[in-house]
């Protein structure tokens, strides 16, 4: 009896060691996606009222947990029964991410007058501000959760590739661990970023000169950080989406990787630019198809 118990404990310890090791490996592989996820989500929740920032972050975080609750079982099922479907599904997600990036740029540069009017008279067209603010907040949350789904899918698939061939229990444990780690990490950081200005304001009102100086520095830095995250978030759509599409075509993916490896730092930058270029082109094509379809259906 005692020997059986010790053997069981040894087996459990071995499984836990495997889970910890594989989780660490998967976390390293998905670290780049984590950075993109952070930039995109910080950008998505920017612009809401100060007292609604944390509720919006929490709403998106809950949506992200739901995304992971859908994706983890789906990944396990697809990996077991339809492994050939992983790459096509990822490429569809990558194309959608690129489409969102191009759509955002097109709206910004093709509708400058709308943005100018909004900046000049922000109250215009808001006869019922409460309804408008609620609708805008709901749209932000919905858009952020949709974007999170694409990036979460990539994180889960990368993790699935890391644990391929492992027992089902190990696969499940690593996938759940990565899903929880990434979600808590991303939205914890997002919450901290969006509340930087509040922290700066608090410090600037304290008695000490050092605290006041630090507070003023944070207040000056926060808007620049949000602008940088906005740019990085848009760029991430093309880098991540384009990277998915490039690596979804093995010949193209291997060619880009080989060229990047042969040219050092220049190759790394060139590979990123190649991914982004592919993302912009595919996103523009998808946008053209979507807009054309809208016009066709509008005439009917």
Task: For 66-101, write each residue's pLDDT tens digit.
Answer: 999 999 998 888 878 887 877 787 788 788 878 888
Would the pLDDT of 219 be above 60?
yes
In a domain, 57, yes or no: yes
In a domain, 6, yes or no: no
CB within 8 A of 243, min separation 6: which ones?
94, 275, 279
In a domain, 1, yes or no: no
Number of domains in the chain: 1
The Cα–Cα gap between 278 and 243 comes to: 8
Would the pLDDT of 106 be above 50?
yes
In a domain, 199, yes or no: yes
In a domain, 83, yes or no: yes
What is the overall mean pLDDT for the chain?
76
Res 29: pLDDT: 47
Find the domain containing 83 and state its range: 15-299
In a domain, 272, yes or no: yes
CB within 8 A of 179, min separation 6: which ones?
68, 71, 72, 152, 155, 156
Would the pLDDT of 229 be above 80?
no
């Amino acid at each position: 009896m005692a020997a059986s118990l010790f053997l069981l404990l040894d087996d459990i310890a071995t499984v836990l060691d495997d889970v910890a090791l594989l989780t660490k490996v998967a976390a390293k592989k998905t670290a780049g996606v984590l950075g993109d996820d952070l930039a995109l989500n910080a950008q998505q929740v920017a612009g809401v009222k100060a007292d609604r920032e944390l509720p919006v972050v929490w709403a998106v975080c809950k949506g992200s947990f739901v995304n992971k609750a859908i994706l983890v079982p789906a990944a396990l099922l697809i990996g077991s029964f339809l492994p050939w479907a992983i790459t096509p599904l990822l490429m569809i997600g990558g194309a959608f991410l690129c489409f969102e990036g191009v759509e955002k740029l097109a709206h910004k540069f093709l509708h400058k007058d709308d943005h100018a009017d909004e900046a000049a008279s922000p109250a215009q067209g808001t006869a019922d501000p409460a309804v408008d603010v609620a609708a805008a907040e709901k749209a932000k949350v919905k858009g952020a959760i949709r974007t999170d789904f694409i990036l979460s899918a990539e994180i889960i698939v990368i993790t699935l590739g890391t644990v391929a061939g492992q027992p089902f229990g190990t696969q499940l444990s690593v996938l759940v661990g990565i899903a929880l780690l990434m979600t808590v990490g991303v939205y914890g950081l997002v919450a901290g970023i969006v509340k930087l200005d509040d922290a700066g304001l608090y410090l600037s009102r304290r008695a000490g000169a050092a605290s006041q100086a630090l507070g003023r520095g944070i207040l000056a830095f926060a808007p620049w950080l949000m602008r940088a995250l906005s740019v990085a978030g848009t760029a991430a759509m093309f880098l991540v989406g384009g990277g998915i599409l490039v690596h979804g075509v093995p010949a193209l993916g291997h060619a880009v990787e080989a060229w990047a490896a042969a040219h050092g730092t220049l190759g790394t930058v060139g590979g990123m630019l190649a991914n982004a270029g592919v993302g912009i082109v595919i996103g523009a094509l998808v946008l053209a198809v979507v807009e054309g379809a809208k016009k066709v259906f509008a005439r009917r």
